[in-house]
Amino acid sequence: MIANSSTTIRFLLASRQCELNSLRYLLQRGELVGKISQLVHMLQRERGTSNMFLCAGEGQFADELSLRERDVAQAQAPLLAQLDTLESQIATSPQASRLFSHVASVIYALSLLPALRQQIRQRKLPLPQAMSFFNDIIRHLLSLVFELTDTAAEPDISRALIAMFSFMQGKEFAGQERAIAAAAFAAGQFSEETRLKLLDLIEHQERCFATFADFADEQHRLRWQQVQTDSQFERLRRIACTGREGFAADSGLRWFALATQRIDAMKQEEDTLAETLMAHCRARIAAAEQASHQQQADIESLMPQPEEEESRYSVFIDNHGWLESGGVRPQLGRSLLTLVQQQSRRLQALDTELAALRETLNERKQIERAKSLLMQHRQLSEEEAYKTLRSMAMNQNKKLVEIAGAMLAVADVFPLLPRE
Amino acid sequence: MIANSSTTIRFLLASRQCELNSLRYLLQRGELVGKISQLVHMLQRERGTSNMFLCAGEGQFADELSLRERDVAQAQAPLLAQLDTLESQIATSPQASRLFSHVASVIYALSLLPALRQQIRQRKLPLPQAMSFFNDIIRHLLSLVFELTDTAAEPDISRALIAMFSFMQGKEFAGQERAIAAAAFAAGQFSEETRLKLLDLIEHQERCFATFADFADEQHRLRWQQVQTDSQFERLRRIACTGREGFAADSGLRWFALATQRIDAMKQEEDTLAETLMAHCRARIAAAEQASHQQQADIESLMPQPEEEESRYSVFIDNHGWLESGGVRPQLGRSLLTLVQQQSRRLQALDTELAALRETLNERKQIERAKSLLMQHRQLSEEEAYKTLRSMAMNQNKKLVEIAGAMLAVADVFPLLPRE
């Protein structure tokens, strides 16, 4: 290989090609997120129904449960099929390694579903445990979405992915709220613990939807603001959270129906978000392909004739500190310089924007990790872990992310609790 | 594809494979950095010699110049050969796109060398311009090193790369100092401008070596501290920077020899750094291969027998919030869980450490970008740009990185100066 115009051009084209590839890859990952959203939705419903099944008398909800299982199977198949194609894309990036590790966790969690269902059917599993199994499977699926979000390289698309992820998280808290209250309505009472848990879940939803609003585009933010909460739903929610009023025997069914209506509306929003995301990706790919063709055309018109010796060009430095060649065929040198500069500046601008985004994201990730550290080592629930972090931050007058960072920094000295 | 133990294992293996690939890729990039270091070293020498050539009388240093050109050619060939193999590794990552864009800039800059040399030989180019051409080529090579540094995924290796990059930057400022002072000694006088420039270059060197010390391991830091500066070199440096004392006619040659000795010692350090980096990579690869074999062996001993139905396992949740399966063949479920968890935790720990490192790096990158923005749009030199940023930071009592960030945020409204 020698250092000349043709080699420069080869690498410019390679840079473009990588960009196009990474956009196409992004589109695939967007599709994957859409499929995960669908599976999560169905698992949420199965969780709610299985809670009702476990609380209600013999023979009730068994058919509904079968329907929900079928829906999950239907949503799971296309996801697994796409994950299967993913495996052939063994890459050299460390992100790929993390991605596959998350996929392994998801598959592992999903592989336990049949056993879980069997035990639910046989009523061998107490409700809180059955529910936390479902929560866990969904948590692994959402972690996979987060990992997919993390590696996006287009600021716009990355923002859309973060908005979508936050929305999915919010919807999951809504799903947990539905499942817990459905069980309590069915059981006929709300314990103090259940009520506090519900209040927590409502707060969590609001926080997630606030993050969604931070990252979503104007259009989706406005759409979401216009989604009215149903007044009947709010009344049942109040009953559930305060536990002061009595309620009719069919309140459980009504709650489940109304909460499902609400969550289905969320799913519709999620689908729109996924569509916008895909449209974004496709538009960017089309633009990049267009730019690539233009670049190709520019290059062909510029290619040096074989008889020209490049060393005959003279050199000078342009106003922006770049080398430039002139002389016998100045237009080649100058245009090539322009192409090299354009590519370099564009990628740099993208990278700067992404770095800022990544910082925001990184803060959220640190908080998530510190939370799961507390969950693991102190046997806390997600809510308790979050509250612990928050109260530490408030007491020390520090930001949540600072406390999370400090906690992760000292993670090694955390004593592991002995296994029971 | 179905969600079961075998599929879980497939993805665990894929995750491992990606990790190994990314380590091997890192080793390649380390080799690339070594080759760039060699080429930069030779270009620095050619720059010094061509400065002496341009200042001295007809017929002097012409042979030395030919030798330096030959050295550059010898260092350039293996680098270009490795870049050539790089091109076949078109990846889906956005980093790859940036990397190729940087390579294009490097190749473009190198392609102008023959024309540059011709004009130097014909004395058609004034010294400052000839020198800034060399500076520019080296700057592009160092940017490529920085890009290679940016994408490393192992915290230790990443730190070693940053240490090496900072050292290379420091050495480049030492090279510029050598070239400028050599020309001034040869010309017989030091202007006010030259003296200020030299003081700047000394300050820059110290800053780079301080960064090097921040990121290098103990061993290299201590080695570097023990490198004594030659007292004769320091005396000539003082003469150059103060301009008060007279100097002998052969001071230029002596300066060049002493500065070259110093820079060669730096190159030796750089070589040791590169060796350590490679050793790091190889050790990590060996460890990862070992772990991968171990994992494979564990998996083989665990694989379910075909007659066993996985859905016959029962499930329970472990103390750390993970799903676990037990029942007929509990050891499979539990061991698989352990494998999934190990992989996930290890990658997460790496990622957390890297995120912190990336933040530090990102701050430095922002400062570099803000500097080059000022250079481009305000026609400032690197030193002036840095000073502008620093004085803005001091006046507003802000950190340098905050000012840099603010500047990048408003980059679009910077008026481009009209081309002359």
* Each residue's pLDDT tens digit, A160-215: 888 899 999 999 999 999 999 998 998 888 999 999 999 989 988 998 998 899 88
CB pairs under 8 A between A and B: 300
Query: From CA A58, how far away is CA A66, in angstroms rounded?
Result: 15
pLDDT at B417: 38
pLDDT at B56: 80
CB–CB contact B90 A343 (8 Å): no
Between A416 and A65, name the one with better pLDDT: A65
Residue A57 contacts residue A77 (beta carbons within 8 Å):
no
Task: For residue A415, give both structure tokens.
Answer: 């004593």
pLDDT-derived band at A300, boundaries 50, 70, 90: confident
B419 neighbourhood in chain A, CB within 8 Å:
318-319
pLDDT-derived band at A420, boundaries 50, 70, 90: very low
Q: What is the mean pLDDT of residues A226-234?
A: 84
pLDDT at A237: 92
Which of B25, B108, B281, B380 should be substituted to probe chain A, the one whose Cβ sees the most A Cβ atoms within 10 Å?
Answer: B108
Nearest CA in chain B to A29: B92
Point out which residues pair with A323 in neighbouring strands.
A317
CB–CB contact A362 B351 (8 Å): no
Residue A162 contacts residue A149 (beta carbons within 8 Å):
yes
pLDDT at A418: 34
Which of A29, A102, A112 should be substituted to probe chain B, the one whose Cβ sees the most B Cβ atoms within 10 Å?
Answer: A112
Between A112 and A151, name the one with better pLDDT: A112
pLDDT at B266: 94
Query: From CA A243, how far away is CA A192, in angstroms rounded?
Result: 8
ipTM: 0.78
Q: What is the mean pLDDT of residues A7-29?
A: 86
Angle between helices A251-302 and A330-378 (to 10 degrees): 160
Nearest CA in chain B to A110: B3
Contacts for A393 with CB less than 8 Å, ≥ 6 apart = A399, A400, A402, A403
Helix (H, G, I), strand (E, B) or coil at B325: strand
Q: HEC profile for chain A? A: CCCCHHHHHHHHHHHHHHHHHHHHHHHHHHHHHHHHHHHHHHHHHHHHHHHHHHHCCCCCCHHHHHHHHHHHHHHHHHHHHHHHHHCCCCCCCHHHHHHHHHHHHHHHHHHCHHHHHHHHHCCCCCHHHHHHHHHHHHHHHHHHHHHHHHCCCCHHHHHHHHHHHHHHHHHHHHHHHHHHHHHHHHHCCCCHHHHHHHHHHHHHHHHHHHHHHHHCCHHHHHHHHHCCCCHHHHHHHHHHHHCCCCCCCCHHHHHHHHHHHHHHHHHHHHHHHHHHHHHHHHHHHHHHHHHHHHHHHHHHHHCCCCCCCHHHEEEEECCCCCEEEEECCHHHHHHHHHHHHHHHHHHHHHHHHHHHHHHHHHHHHHHHHHHHHHHHHHCCCHHHHHHHHHHHHHHCCCCHHHHHHHHHHCHHHCCCCCCC
B100 neighbourhood in chain A, CB within 8 Å:
11-12, 14-15, 18
Report, as ranges of residue numbers, the positions in chain B whose pLDDT lies below 70. Answer: 90-92, 94, 150-153, 303-334, 354, 358, 409-420
* Each residue's pLDDT tens digit, A363-384: 777 787 788 777 777 777 777 8
pLDDT at B103: 93
A316 neighbourhood in chain B, CB within 8 Å:
129
pLDDT-derived band at A332, boundaries 50, 70, 90: low
Query: From CA B95, how far away is CA B242, in angstroms rounded?
Result: 46
Between B381 and A285, name the one with better pLDDT: A285
Nearest CA in chain B to A80: B1
* Each residue's pLDDT tens digit, B279-334: 988 998 998 899 888 888 877 777 655 555 444 445 555 544 455 554 434 556 66
CB–CB contact B110 A3 (8 Å): yes
Point out which residues pair with B324 in neighbouring strands.
B316
A118 neighbourhood in chain B, CB within 8 Å:
311
A347 neighbourhood in chain B, CB within 8 Å:
94, 97-98, 101
Helix (H, G, I), strand (E, B) or coil at B314: strand
> In chain A, what percentage of residues exceed pLDDT 90?
32
Query: From CA A237, how far away is CA B77, in angstroms rounded?
Result: 73
B87 neighbourhood in chain A, CB within 8 Å:
10-11, 14
Which of A81, A87, A311 is facing B10, going by the closest CB pair?
A87
CB–CB contact B8 A104 (8 Å): yes
Contacts for A46 with CB less than 8 Å, ≥ 6 apart = A65, A68, A69, A71, A72, A134
Average model confidence (pLDDT) across chain A:
82
Check if B414 contacts A (Cβ < 8 Å).
no
* Each residue's pLDDT tens digit, A101-136: 999 999 999 998 998 999 999 998 888 889 988 999
pLDDT at B320: 46
pLDDT at A153: 65
Point out which residues pair with A327 in neighbouring strands.
A313
A108 neighbourhood in chain B, CB within 8 Å:
8, 323, 336-337, 340
Can you say whether residue B61 is alpha, beta or left, with left for phi > 0 and alpha for psi between -120 and 50 degrees?
left
Nearest CA in chain A to B20: A92
pLDDT over threshold 50, residue A414: no
CB–CB contact A96 B22 (8 Å): yes
* Each residue's pLDDT tens digit, A231-280: 899 999 999 988 777 788 888 889 999 999 999 999 999 999 999 889 98
Residue B276 contacts residue B217 (beta carbons within 8 Å):
yes
